[in-house]
Amino acid sequence: MPSNTLDKVELTAAPDKHQHFKIFKPYGFLSQFVPETRKNKKLLAELFNFPEKTMAIGRLDHDSEGLLLLTTDGMMSHLIRSKKIEKEYYVQLDGNISAAAVLALQNGVEIGVNGEKYQTLPCKVFKLTQEPLLPLRGRKIRDPRHGPTSWVSITLCEGKNRQIRKMTAAVGFATLRLVRVRIGGIDIATMQAGDVIPLSGFNAVLGR
């Protein structure tokens, strides 16, 4: 075999045996593949013919939407769920959020987690100057005549159960709509609700 060919063979990396995806989880879907007992809920398996052993990396609750990463690699799931990876959300609030409330969210607020008090970590929060361009939710939020709403961006490196909803409630503003728009360096871009895009890997998330 010629030496240049041998070099190419030796330097070729083994292909990733796992499969990875990014999806735009629609409102009303559970972030899982196995149905819960006596609950007739929509599942991720309805969106695409995913390979066996595909798992969601983290979760978005039934009422939340947006970016969700899926993989067949359990180790990759563990890395991305760590506090080293940012997760950004666009949040529509009931009412016009004040600068004081934004500051409180930035510094951390007290919420309840598993029946105990928990102080959220400092995070990035800012008010959006205009409504973000997002797909229609499919279910009306509420009648605009009931009062103003506002949008904020919240970026966390932690993920307690329903954390953002609890955080905004703690400063006096109920969450009306919650959409995750970015995980690390991967964002939803122009994805529509229900879209599934295969990925070659998660280097953009891990900063590699």
pLDDT tens per residue, range 138-191:
777 877 778 899 999 999 999 899 999 999 999 999 999 999 999 999 999 999
Q: Which amino acid is at 195?
A: D
Q: Is pLDDT above 90 for 69?
A: yes
Burial class (CB in 10 A: 0-12, 13-18, 19+), 95: middle
Structure confidence at residue 15 (pLDDT):
52
Q: What is the mean pLDDT of residues 34-50?
A: 86
Assigned domain for 12 exists: no
pLDDT at 35 over 90: no
The pTM score is: 0.89
Q: Is the pLDDT of residue 132 over 60?
A: yes
Task: Name the active-site residue from 7, 61, 73, 187.
Answer: 61
Q: How far apart are CA 171 and CA 41, in angstroms?
A: 31
- Tell me how many domains the chain contains: 1
Q: What is the CATH number of the domain that holds 101?
A: 3.30.2350.10
pLDDT mean over 38-63: 91
| Residue type, position 43, single letter | L
Domain-located, residue 133: yes
How high is the pLDDT of residue 12?
40
> If we measure between CA atoms, which residue out of 177, 183, 181, 171 comes closest to residue 150?
177
What's 2-24 look like in SS3? CHHHHHHHHHCCCCCCCCEEEEE
Has residue 33 been placed in a domain? yes
**Between these two residues, 112 and 203, which has the higher pLDDT value?**
112
Alpha-carbon gap, residue 184 to 120, rounded angstroms: 20
Task: Let me know: does 69 contact 22? Beta carbons within 8 Å.
Answer: yes
Indicate if 61 belongs to the active site. Answer: yes
Q: Is residue 4 part of a domain?
A: no
Considering the domain boundaries, does residue 153 fall inside one? yes
Q: What angle do CA 79, 82, 85 make, to 5 degrees?
A: 90
If we measure between CA atoms, which residue out of 168, 166, 145, 164 comes closest to residue 97? 168
pLDDT above 90 coverage of the chain, percent? 72
Interstrand relation of 87-94 and 29-30 (parallel, antiparallel or unpaired):
unpaired
Query: What is the pLDDT at residue 133?
Result: 94
Residue 146: strand, helix, or coil:
helix
Residue 140 structural domain: 18-200
